[in-house]
Structure 1
Amino acid sequence: MTAADAILSYAVWLAFAVLAVAFLLTVWRVVKGPTLPDRVVALDMLTGIVIGFIALIAIRTGFTLYIDIAISLGLVGFLATVAFARFVLSRGTGGGAPKESGTAAPLAAVPAQRRKPRTRRTGSAGPAVRRKARK
């Protein structure tokens, strides 16, 4: 065993230990998370940690098929995160940061005093002008 192999072996074992601690803390956040967005972010983090484990196993064994599995898991994990985010937005109970002022709110969310009344177009002269013309 050369010095480079020993360093690589120690680095892989250290990375396994760090990822194991990160995995446990992230699972705790999924279980304990105070809000649904916290849990969604923790699940996304779990996907990243599992990808790290798969990459370490690929380094340790030298079997490169694991890298393809890690890439596939990354794509599926991203789609799952997007689906969870859309679910949270559809429920409307984000509990996270307030909305930005630049985003457009639906008409029902705008207070009644700020809404402009909808008028019907009846031609060049309005109804009040026509009433005066009839008299």
Structure 2
Amino acid sequence: MSTIIAGAVWVLPLSFTLLALSAALVLVRLIRGPRAADRVVAIDALTMLAIAAIALFALATGQPMLLDAAVVLALMSFLGTAAFILLFRRRGRGPDEVVTWNDRKPAADETVAAPPDRERMR
């Protein structure tokens, strides 16, 4: 099967180059961290870049069967991300987690309102 793509002479190599540059930057984030959540997002971004590279390769070679591999990789990426979410939930808040507004301690000059009485609100 032969397909002719308008602008394929310069668009496809440019796309592959930009994907490689993006992958290099994401690898830096994967290595440097600093938190586990940053690394999970970097792994997810690398997977998405791999899916894009497979799709571009399928377009460049004219082999639509490669798109099936991209879909399978996307499904596996979703399952892996869901597994990481469950892993973080079971561990609880670790030392590298961000403190949310509910968890922060008030400053010395702040007044803290008591939580509303649920019985009184009914």
Q: CA deviation at 1:6?
A: 5.8
Q: 1:29 to 1:62 in 2, by over 3 A?
A: same
Q: Percent identity?
A: 35
1:23 is aligned to: 23
Match of 1:95 among 83, 94, 97: 97
Measure the CA separation in 2 of the matches of 1:100 and 1:72. Answer: 39
Which stretches of structure 1, 4 residues or more, deviate above 6 A after TM superposition? Answer: none
- Report the structure, 1 or 2, having the larger helix content: 1
1:128 is aligned to: none
Q: CA deviation at 1:32?
A: 0.6
Work out whether residues 40 and 85 of structure 1, in 8 Å CA contact, stay in contact via their aligned partners in 2. no
Normalising by structure 2, what TM-score?
A: 0.73
Normalising by structure 1, what TM-score?
A: 0.66
Q: Which entry has the higher C-alpha Rg, 1 or 2?
A: 1
- The correspondence of residues 1-135 of structure 1 with structure 2, limited to 5 A, is 5=5, 7-92=7-92, 93=94, 95-96=97-98, 98=100
Q: CA deviation at 1:10?
A: 1.2
1:106 is aligned to: none
Unaligned runs of 5+ in 1: 102-113, 115-135
Measure the CA separation in 1 of the matches of 2:59 and 2:102. Answer: 44
Work out whether residues 27 and 42 of structure 1, in 8 Å CA contact, stay in contact via their aligned partners in 2. yes
Work out whether residues 37 and 96 of structure 1, in 8 Å CA contact, stay in contact via their aligned partners in 2. no
